[in-house]
Structure 1
Amino acid sequence: MKITLTLLTSEELKQQWKQAFTEQDIFRPDEYYDKCLAENAAGARETIIAYADDQVAGVCHLKYESDYPPFKEQDIPEVNDLNVFPVFQRQGIGNRILEEFESIVSRKGKRIGIGVGLFKDYGKAQRIYCRRGYIPDGHGIVYKNQPVVPGEMVRVDDDLNLFFIKELQ
């Protein structure tokens, strides 16, 4: 299988990405796709579309200005919304995407960050990030990018995260 990584640079690529997400039952509003394309054009974000033998296999973003306050304050770019479709998992695609973003960030900076969900669906991602040298940032669990206070009740969903940082060479 030939793996190719392509940066989101055109309306055509945006439509391929949107179609692939629709086929995988991953919902994003139309405005999200438009915003991502515009932010790529402006240099605020880089979106990689991964292809396996010309089929979209996954998508991920690098946000140069994170919405997560500790990353934003420290100018740590954030790997965001890494999706590798189930049929393409365990074939190195996620690692290839992470390698590419780490290479891009290392040209200008020394650290890269990533957030990950805390329930079972995120188990594979948690293990990949740890194996790649990402360590917790020390700020604990957050819900919708806000610290979870001890004793507080929060919903366990995609917005309950732990953020990690990797020191780059």
Structure 2
Amino acid sequence: MNTRIHIRPMTGADVESVYRSLDQFEIGKPLDYIARCWEENVSGRRVTLIAEGENRFAGWLHLVFRSDYAYFAERNIPEINNLDVLPPMRRLGIANALMETVERIAFDRFGIVGVGVGLYSDYGSAQRLYAKRGYVPDGRGLMYLGEPAKPGDYVQVGHDLALYLIKERA
């Protein structure tokens, strides 16, 4: 399939259609979260990019200018988060196109960008994508609920267990 990918900034008109599109494929993003993302775009706290393929919503990605992850926040490293591509649109280069665009924004403004990635199989595609794009661990090890996991700790494998990665402008 030859799909033309178009990347653009989110608009207020996208809130409802993004919700419906994600919900259709059981990608759990509450409507109030999507609306909050839009509000943070308006206030300048984040940039949300929308990917369209075949003239319809295909995925999205966010760049948060002040990360909740303390290590990034203290070093003024913006964080990429919430990369979603709809299942029928995967393996068409959409995630790479979103990443290319968001990295350009981050590098122009900060010279660096970070991302946290989950460690179980649901995140396998993201792990591979970030590695192929040149992201490296930030050197702080595994984080659980935003805090370093220490030797001997028991942590729950889930969305709250992550490895944070960084990439600097080449």
Under a length normalisation based on structure 1, what TM-score does the superposition of the two structures give? 0.95
Deviation string, structure 1 residues 10-49 (Cα, Å, up to 9, x no partner): 1x21111111111011222332122111100011101111
| Corresponding residue number in structure 2 for 1:3 | 5
| Corresponding residue number in structure 2 for 1:153 | 154
Q: Secondary structure at the residue paired with 1:20? A: helix
- Structure 1: stretches of 5+ with no match in the other structure: none
- Structure 2: stretches of 5+ with no match in the other structure: none
State the 1:121 CA deviation: 1.2
CA distance in 2, matches of 1:28, 1:9: 17
Work out whether residues 65 and 77 of structure 2, in 8 Å CA contact, stay in contact via their aligned partners in 1: yes
State the 1:65 CA deviation: 0.4
| Corresponding residue number in structure 1 for 2:104 | 103
What pairs with 1:127-146 in structure 2 (closer than 5 Å)? 127-146=128-147
Q: CA RMSD in A?
A: 1.1
Work out whether residues 9 and 41 of structure 1, in 8 Å CA contact, stay in contact via their aligned partners in 2: no
CA distance in 2, matches of 1:142, 1:69: 11
CA distance in 1, matches of 2:147, 2:30: 24
State the 1:9 CA deviation: 2.0
What pairs with 1:22-101 in structure 2 (closer than 5 Å)? 22-101=23-102
Deviation string, structure 1 residues 49-78 (Cα, Å, up to 9, x no partner): 111111211111100000111000000010
- Return the letter of the residue paired with 1:37: W
- Return the letter of the residue paired with 1:70: Y
Under a length normalisation based on structure 2, what TM-score does the superposition of the two structures give? 0.95
| Corresponding residue number in structure 1 for 2:22 | 21
Work out whether residues 16 and 31 of structure 2, in 8 Å CA contact, stay in contact via their aligned partners in 1: no
Work out whether residues 25 and 86 of structure 2, in 8 Å CA contact, stay in contact via their aligned partners in 1: yes
Work out whether residues 15 and 31 of structure 2, in 8 Å CA contact, stay in contact via their aligned partners in 1: no
Q: Identity over the aligned pairs, expressed in percent?
A: 40
- Return the letter of the residue paired with 1:167: E
Equivalenced residues, count = 168
- Return the letter of the residue paired with 1:62: L
